């Protein structure tokens, strides 16, 4: 491995290993305010967030020319008008090809310690480049993207503003898209306002649902859906897809114990991100709650945390009400003009 691939590999390793902590609302390494209920997301020292880099990343995120046939952009499968997903059981790439998984939301992806349902990417930078070379998704090459963008005069000033000169590299493409994605944050939900002291922000049903959610002897959802983003960023086998060809985390680790384990998704803004599960097999939150109440699907590697609960219909409805209270302020972003 020489040249650009070596530089890219070194950069991705550095980005995965060196997150800079941000502890205040404004954050020393994160230059924007964050919604109520969140802390500034971690930012790698090697890829500081700047306004110019975010502006470039936003443009790249919406640019279909990053795909081989110029029909698919990042925003195609992660549409801001659809909860930053495509609201489909599986995504559609170039030539109408169908993928095998539901597109996870970009909302609050900055807080995840691993990216993709199987965690194969260690950073947003690494994640942003993978779809480009996926033959089903964007079907292009990194070298092809660099050549194409280098030939678009309108990109030169954007790269210069972001990086100090107008040179296009795949590393810079990754850094810009990741910087933009770190600004896609959802918070200030009824739950956040309730936690901040507004006791009328959540309905009585949602408050009851929250108690069930947290109770280790009842629903115990918080065992995996923990922290401000309601995800432990870990991988759990619920039985969804067990016995099929998509082995989830095991395809990355090659450990049989990880068979059919998939990453815990955020629970924020679920109103916009149906269908649910990695394969889009659950159409409603009521179906999801009922699935968990039944204890998932038995298989040799089912997570021991997943077991029958025995909630009443009213309790399940309360849980759904609480999940609805996690819908924050809509993050609606329109595509910028494309450079020519």
Residues annotated as catalytic are: 137
Q: How do strand 43-44 and strand 235-237 relate by DSSP bridges?
A: unpaired
How far, in Å, CA of 238 to CA of 243, rounded?
A: 12
Residues 175-207: b if buried by 16+ CB within 10 A, e if exposed: bbbbbbbbbbbbbbbbbbbbeeeeeebbbebbb
Q: Is 92 helix (H, G, I), strand (E, B) or coil?
A: strand
> Is the four-CA dihedral 225, 230, 234, 238 of positive or negative sign?
positive
**CA-closest candidate to residue 301, choices 232, 225, 221, 236:** 236
Residue 328: both structure tokens together: 């924050």
* Coil, strand or helix at 26: coil
Residue with tokens 């801001």: 80
Those residues whose C-beta lies under 8 Å from the C-beta of residue 305, and which sit 6 or more positions away, are: 220, 223, 224, 236
Beta bridge partners of 92: 98
């Amino acid at each position: 491995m020489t040249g650009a691939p070596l530089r890219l590999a070194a950069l991705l390793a550095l980005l995965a290993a060196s997150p800079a902590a941000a502890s205040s609302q404004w954050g020393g390494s994160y230059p924007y305010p964050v919604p109520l209920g969140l802390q500034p997301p971690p930012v790698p020292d090697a890829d500081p967030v700047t306004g110019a880099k975010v502006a470039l990343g936003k443009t790249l995120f919406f640019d279909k020319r990053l795909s081989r046939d110029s029909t698919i952009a990042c925003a195609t499968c992660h549409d801001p008008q659809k909860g930053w997903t495509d609201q489909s059981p599986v995504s559609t790439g170039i030539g109408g090809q169908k993928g095998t998984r539901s597109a996870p939301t970009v909302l609050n992806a900055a807080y995840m310690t691993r990216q993709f349902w199987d965690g194969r990417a260690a950073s947003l930078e690494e994640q942003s480049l993978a779809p480009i070379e996926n033959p089903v998704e964007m079907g292009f090459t990194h070298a092809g993207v660099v050549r194409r963008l280098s030939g678009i005069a309108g990109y030169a000033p954007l790269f210069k503003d972001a990086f100090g000169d107008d040179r296009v590299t795949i590393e810079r493409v990754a850094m810009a898209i990741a910087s933009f994605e770190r600004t896609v944050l959802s918070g200030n939900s009824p739950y956040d306002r309730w936690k901040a002291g507004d006791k009328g922000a959540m309905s009585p049903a949602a408050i009851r649902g929250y108690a069930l959610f947290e109770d280790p002897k009842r629903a115990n959802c918080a065992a995996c859906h923990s922290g401000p983003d309601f995800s432990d960023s870990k991988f759990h086998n619920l039985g969804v897809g067990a016995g099929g060809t998509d082995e989830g985390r095991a395809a990355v680790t090659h450990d049989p114990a990880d068979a059919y384990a998939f990453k815990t998704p955020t629970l924020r803004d679920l109103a916009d991100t149906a269908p649910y599960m990695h394969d889009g097999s659950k159409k409603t939150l009521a179906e999801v709650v009922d699935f968990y109440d039944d204890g998932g699907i038995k298989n040799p590697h089912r997570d021991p945390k997943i077991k029958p609960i025995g909630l009443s219909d009213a309790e399940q409805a309360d849980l759904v009400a609480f999940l609805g209270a996690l819908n924050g302020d809509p993050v609606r972003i329109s595509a910028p003009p494309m450079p020519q």
